[in-house]
Structures are given as C-alpha cells and as structure tokens.
Amino acid sequence: MDKLYTDAEAALEGILFDGMTIMAGGFGLCGIPENLIAALKKSGIKDITAISNNAGVDNFGLGLLLQTRQIRKMISSYVGENKEFERQYLAKELDLEFNPQGTLAERIRAGGAGIPGFYTKTGVGTLIAEGKEHKDFNGETYIMETGLKADVSLVKAWKADKEGNLIYRKTARNFNPMMATAGQVTVAEVEEIVETGELDADNIHTPGIFVQRIIKSRDLEKRIEQLTTRPRQEG
C-alpha cells in the first residue's frame, strides 16, 4: 500500500467530517504538524473536538483553527499562550476540558493501546477528580481516567521511510508518538522521507503500523515561542 501523499490537502482527503475528533501533536509550537493544520483550516470542517496539549498561539498552530471558529471543544493541559482561546472560553463560545499533562499523555497512550481506563493519583482531591470513580490501592486513593482515541491523528516527525516508520527529533517528539497510536487514521508530516531500509531498525520511534498516510513538510516555519540565549564569553 502506498502511504505517500503529494501534499497535506491530498493526505486529508476523504477522512474529514464535521464534528470529528482530531489529535494534533506538539508541545507549544514545538513538533506541530504545520502543513496539516493549514490544510485542516482550508478544509473548512466545523465543530472539531481537538485533543492537543496546547492551543497554539493566536495566529499559529491550532490558534489558526480557533480564529476561524472551527474548534468546538479542546482537551488540553495548558492554553496560557492563546488570548483568543481565553476570550472564546470566557464568552462560552468554546468547550474546554483541562487534563493534567501526564494524565492527558497516558489517556492517549491507553487509547492507542486498547486500554479503556486506568487509575492515577494525579488530581485526587481537586476539581479534576469530581464525578470520577475513586479506588484505594495499598492505602492510597486513585481516580479512574479513560483512554482517548481520535478519528484522525495529525503528527509531526523528523524522518519517515515509505513504510511509515517514524523518527522524531529532540523535544519535538512530545505527544506525537502516543497520538500516532490513537488515531483511527494517522497522518504523519515529516521533514524528510527516505527509502525503506535506510532508517536504523533499532532506532524507530513509531513503527509504521501506526501510520496510514505520510507527507513531506513544505515551507516549515518552526516558530520559536521564547527565544532565550546567552552571550558568548569574551576571549
């Protein structure tokens, strides 16, 4: 089966619909599928439930889909960099489900691994625990969290081969590997596509079974949110 598509729009053809659930990888603007988000915006589909650690910034990342009001609900751990998000939420134009970051990562991992629920200490005694099953193990209280799946997962990797084996780079990995496992269809946007056999089989981060469609990124911006540097020492 040929998994390679010419561009982001072609890779999303036939798998998008109003009201769907979409996972998008990335931490802040690091490791986000830029081309696929742009194509999602262009598709014009509405009422998306978006599962992503963050909501981008006002004019980049998932923030683009907030501007066009294509997202109805977000499941995230932190949205502090996005003023439009805060405005839409406080005006009740947008649903928001906050998940602790580790709980979000594990819910996605569980969803992809066929595990419908698990128990965690995170959030016990807080708003997060309200309405959830509590259970004691060895004298400590835990709450039950459920696995998450998506109709489509959009992930960003560094390299892929034609089988869909993926390698991520540095901290751009973040949520991408779990999301790749949890999509009914997973589309990978990568910086380089190599011939099958060229990647070191011992160093594949996401095995190709989890990836159905692949595109090569065009005109990646890779925007930096907080450029922090130190001066070079004299002499």
Partner 1 sequence: MAWTRQEMAKRAAQELKDGYYVNLGIGIPTLVANYIPDGVDVTLQSENGMLGMGPFPFEGEADPDLINAGKQTITELNRTSYFSSADSFSMIRGGHIDLSILGAMQVSQEGDLANWMIPNKMVKGMGGAMDLVAGVKKVVVIMDHNARDGSAKFLKKCTLPLTGVKVVDMIISDVGVFVIEEKGPVLIELAPEISVNDVKERTEADFFADIGLL
Rounded Cα distance, 220 and 73, in Å: 27
Contact between 135 and 119 (Cβ < 8 Å): yes
Other beta carbons within 10 angstroms of residue 192's beta carbon come to 13
Q: Check residue 210 and give left, alpha or beta (phi > 0: left; psi -120 to 50: alpha).
A: alpha
Is 146 a binder of partner 1 (CB under 8 A)?
Answer: no
Is 171 a binder of partner 1 (CB under 8 A)?
Answer: yes
Is 109 a binder of partner 1 (CB under 8 A)?
Answer: yes
Is 58 a binder of partner 1 (CB under 8 A)?
Answer: no
Rounded Cα distance, 53 and 119, in Å: 20
Rounded Cα distance, 179 and 105, in Å: 9
Q: Among 1-9, 61-69, 74-82, 146-154, which window interacts with partner 1 (CB under 8 A)?
A: 74-82
Q: Among 34-42, 43-51, 81-89, 194-202, which window interacts with partner 1 (CB under 8 A)?
A: 81-89
Q: Name the CA dihedral angle for 169, 172, 174, 175, rounded to a multiple of 10 degrees.
A: -110
Find the shortest distance in angstroms from Cβ 16 to partner 1: 25
Applying CB under 8 A, among 106, 145, 161, 189 the residue interacting with partner 1 is 106
Applying CB under 8 A, among 79, 152, 199, 211 the residue interacting with partner 1 is 79
Which parts of 34-53 interact with partner 1 (CB under 8 A)? Answer: 53
3-state secondary structure of 104: helix
Applying CB under 8 A, among 81, 145, 161, 189 the residue interacting with partner 1 is 81
Contact between 20 and 43 (Cβ < 8 Å): no
Q: Which residues bind partner 1 (CB under 8 A)?
A: 27-31, 53, 76-81, 85-86, 89-90, 96, 98, 100-106, 108-109, 120-128, 158, 168-178, 205, 222-232
